[in-house]
Amino acid sequence: MRITIGTFNLNNLFSRYNFSGEIKAIKSNDTEIDSKVEYVFEEEENYRIRTYKGKLVKGKPDDERETIAERINRMDVDVLAVQEVEDIDILKRFNREKKYGLDGLYKYQVLVEGNDDRLIDIRILSKLPIGAITS
């Protein structure tokens, strides 16, 4: 049996949330009215906010994800080691999304913990079942 293996750096495939908005100050002639807006997230299990060096990190834009998926499809390998992935959930979502072009191409995914301070790790995508993994 012939098995093809490849590697690809996904370059910060993050699932991190970026809550942003714009509020314009209300002005009336010479008087400026200040306003305060507060966002409250009470149930911790319903959200995750992660930062790197105190800054909120945005997820990778859709057009960049589509480009990456196109390159992975062109590689056409059975087993693909990928670097710079935040967590297994974002990799699974990226793999199954039709809009990115992978459409569940890799049935099996495995996480290999890294030691990067950006909280990114190594993942393995495979069309074939995966056995034990040791780092």
In a domain, residue 103? The reply is yes
Domain count, the chain: 1
pTM for the structure as a whole? 0.66
- Residue with the bigger pLDDT between 43 and 107: it is 107
In a domain, residue 97? The reply is yes
**What gap in Å lies between CA 130 and CA 38, rounded to an integer?**
46
What pLDDT is recorded for position 53? 63
pLDDT tops 50 at residue 41: yes
In a domain, residue 107? The reply is yes
pLDDT tops 80 at residue 31: no
Question: Average pLDDT, stretch 119-124?
Answer: 83
For residue 73, give its domain range. 5-16+59-126
In a domain, residue 24? The reply is no
pLDDT tops 50 at residue 46: yes
